[in-house]
Amino acid sequence: MANLINESEIRSTWAPIIESATGINDANKLAWMSTYCHNHKLYEDANVMSLDPSMNLTGMGAAKFPVIGGANGSGDKAPSLLPLAMQVAAQTIGLDLVPVVPMAGPMGLLSYLDFTYEGGRLDNKVTPTYVKTSAAAAGGDVLYGTSRIDGLNIIEVKDALTAGEANIAARYTGAVLVKALEDHIKGFAAADAAGAPYSRDAGEQTADKVMGLSLFSKSIAAETFQVAAAVTREQVQDLKQFGVDAVAQVESVLTNELTQSINQHILGSVRTLGTTNVTATFGAATDFDIALANASALAGGETVASEHRKVLTQVLAAANLIANRGRRGAGNFAVVGAQVATILQSISGFVANPMANTISQSAGAIYPLGSVAGINVYTDPTQAWGSYKISVGRKGDGNGPGLVFMPYLMAESVQTIAEGTMAPKIAVKSRFALVEAGFHAETQYVTFSITNGSGSWTNLINLA
């Protein structure tokens, strides 16, 4: 389903409606929600609803590329409520952590660009080309060190292929091309492997090496969260005397359930990728953890607040590690548990070692908590009170590596009447894709924990 008007028209049409209905005024969120609402409206206008009581119509089955399967399933077309979808989108705080690229249909392609050294191919005989491999350099090929991302050897293929080598991949099994946005070859634009510049004469006589542009595409299929609830006729009737609409209350609860499910799905992926990044960088998932001392062991002017202050420094270190590993920019958000949020609030005005912040002092501040040194801090209320895990990440623009949220239908609702009891039943469904885009998506996230340095404190707030 293609967009029939341009983005500026979409924005001018939908942004005022979204702002009026949800109160959202953030430019980035208004942009993607406007695109989503446009796609959603086309979806509603282009389909005719048909309900079958037996619920056994033949459906498309699982999404497949490029053909549609024939598995049995429900063929119902449920009414898709745009106001309900807007509320789910507005309330899902996880969408503040990842870029959002709305899908116009249940299947799609996510494309991204990268640049390869020499633009060579592994399935032909063109040389020279640069490859990354776990093998040592063969023959006259030149080793250019190791990759800073995965530790593989970076090799310039200079020797001609032998009669038994059909292509470069035959010489280096499992080799991949070297991408300029991940690794850097010092000698590529220079006169030698050490990165020394050309002299004037050499520069005039040496042909330029060429960077290759590669377009990569990833097939995407929307996945589903779904939940339903039922009320009795007695509940509908009896609650009216209190001015309560039972059906509306049930729909509100179902919307909240979808929102929380999407939030936790996004946060779970962020934490997993952050752990992968730390493990790849330091060798173990715990090697970036920060240890705080017991209050009774502090001396020389150290206080509980000064120990807590170390947590902010570690958050900044994680943000800069993301910049170092991902080369797209520093981390710009952090997600913490309730107890960690408490200590951040308590030290946000710590005078001895101040740091620019907007952390709220209100005990009711949950989402978001505030910001510190340009990093937006969010509290995850579902984390256990004793969980000291912190995840730091970078929200990009959807064109680089990292997680991308691609909604197809944020909320789809259908109401039915049970034949036996004649009581209303409401089902709500959300369809979207959460995609690990680009190469090495994990470099955009870091997950670490606050540990017990002395082995004797059990409460992070007072370190006792």
Q: What is the pLDDT of residues 343-398, one digit of tens each?
A: 988 876 544 455 565 655 444 334 678 888 888 999 988 889 999 999 999 998 87
Of the candidate ranges 262-271, 346-355, 424-433, the one whose mean pLDDT is the lowest:
346-355
158 confidence band (pLDDT: 50, 70, 90):
confident
The CA distance from 307 to 292, in Å, is 6
Q: Quick one: pLDDT at residue 134? A: 93
**Facing residues of 153 across strands?**
133, 146
pLDDT at 63 over 60: no
pLDDT at 115 over 60: yes
- One-letter amino acid at 219 equals S
Q: Taking residues 418-435, what's their average pLDDT?
A: 85
List, edge to edge, every strand of the sheet that includes 142-146. Answer: 142-146, 153-157, 129-133, 176-177
Q: What is the pLDDT of residues 442-463, one digit of tens each?
A: 999 999 999 987 678 989 999 9
Of the candidate ranges 23-32, 57-66, 111-120, 239-248, the one whose mean pLDDT is the lowest:
57-66
Helices (H) and strands (E) in the chain, counts: 9, 15
pLDDT at 176 over 90: no
pLDDT at 41 over 60: yes
Q: Quick one: pLDDT at residue 331? A: 95
Q: Taking residues 425-429, what's their average pLDDT?
A: 87
Contact 415, 424 (CB under 8 A): yes
The interaxial angle of helices 246-282 and 304-326, nearest 10 deg, is 80
**Facing residues of 131 across strands?**
155, 177
173 confidence band (pLDDT: 50, 70, 90):
confident
Q: What percent of the chain has a predicted confidence (pLDDT) above 70?
A: 82
Q: Higher confidence at residue 123 or residue 232?
A: 232
Q: Quick one: pLDDT at residue 352? A: 45
- Which domains can be identified in the chain, with CATH numbers? 78-106+222-464 (3.90.1690), 113-217 (no CATH)
86 confidence band (pLDDT: 50, 70, 90):
low
pLDDT at 340 over 90: yes
Q: What is the pLDDT of residues 236-256, one digit of tens each?
A: 888 888 888 888 888 888 888
Contact 147, 443 (CB under 8 A): no
| Pairing between β-strand 402-417 and β-strand 424-437 as defined by DSSP bridges | antiparallel
Q: What percent of the chain has a predicted confidence (pLDDT) above 90?
A: 25
Please give the full DSSP string across 259-326, using - where no structure is assigned. HHHHHHHHHHHHHHHHHHHHHHHHSSTTTT-EEE--GGG--TT--HHHHHHHHHHHHHHHHHHHHHHH
Q: Taking residues 418-445, what's their average pLDDT?
A: 86
Q: Higher confidence at residue 326 or residue 91?
A: 326
pLDDT at 418 over 80: no
Contact 142, 193 (CB under 8 A): yes
The CA distance from 284 to 275, in Å, is 9
Q: Quick one: pLDDT at residue 52? A: 45
The CA distance from 179 to 149, in Å, is 11
Q: Quick one: pLDDT at residue 367? A: 63
Of the candidate ranges 79-93, 143-157, 173-187, the one whose mean pLDDT is the lowest:
79-93
**Per DSSP, which regions of 51-141 are E strands?**
107-117, 129-133
The CA distance from 168 to 361, in Å, is 61
Q: Quick one: pLDDT at residue 83? A: 63
The CA distance from 28 to 17, in Å, is 15
The CA distance from 441 to 399, in Å, is 12
48 confidence band (pLDDT: 50, 70, 90):
very low
Q: Quick one: pLDDT at residue 292? A: 93
Q: What's the pTM value of the predicted model, to 2 decimals?
A: 0.77
> Hey, is 348 helix, strand or coil?
coil
**In whole numbers, what is the pLDDT of the chain averaged over residues?**
81
pLDDT at 129 over 50: yes
Q: Quick one: pLDDT at residue 56? A: 45
Residue among 445, 186, 185 at smallest CA distance from 329: 445
Q: Taking residues 284-303, what's their average pLDDT?
A: 90
Q: Higher confidence at residue 269 or residue 126?
A: 269
